[in-house]
Amino acid sequence: MRRLPSTYQDDTPLAWQTDARCAETDPEMFFPEKGGSTAAAKKICSGCEVAPECLQYAIDNEEQSGIWGGLSERQITAVRLGKAPNPFTGQIAA
Ligand code: SF4
């Protein structure tokens, strides 16, 4: 899916949320019940231009639930702990 250019302009920490695609959807989709499907949320994230910022926010804040930047909590934890590369930067946390 083609990503649109981000429109947020300022450097405040949460300015990226201005362009969050999930803001136009049901937020419950991003916090499914245990064992529930994450496919619909991840599909929306795949077209979100601020997914890298969203993932970084989740990593920095040690988010323990939900879909952030297109990754599940388990995937986010793996990136945060250096067990998987950040899918946007390719870097592995030290
Ligand atoms: S990456 Fe997904 S969860 Fe994050 S702001 Fe975009 S749509 Fe929302």
pLDDT in tens, the chain (94 residues): 344 456 666 678 899 999 999 999 999 999 999 889 999 999 999 999 999 999 999 999 999 999 999 999 999 999 999 999 999 999 999 9
The model carries a pTM of 0.88
Residue type, 21: R
Q: How far apart are CA 11 and CA 16, in angstroms?
A: 9
**Quick check: CB of 44 below 6 Å from ligand 1?**
yes
Cβ atoms of 3 and 49 within 8 Å: the answer is: yes
Q: How far apart are CA 93 and CA 86, in angstroms?
A: 8
CA dihedral 53, 58, 59, 61 (to 10 degrees): 120
Cβ atoms of 47 and 21 within 8 Å: the answer is: yes
**Quick check: CB of 16 below 6 Å from ligand 1?**
no
Q: Residue 71 in 3-state DSSP?
A: strand
Q: Is the dihedral of CA 9, 16, 6, 55 positive or negative?
A: positive
Structure tokens at 74: 């388990």
Output the CA 92–ligand 1 centroid distance in Å.
Answer: 21
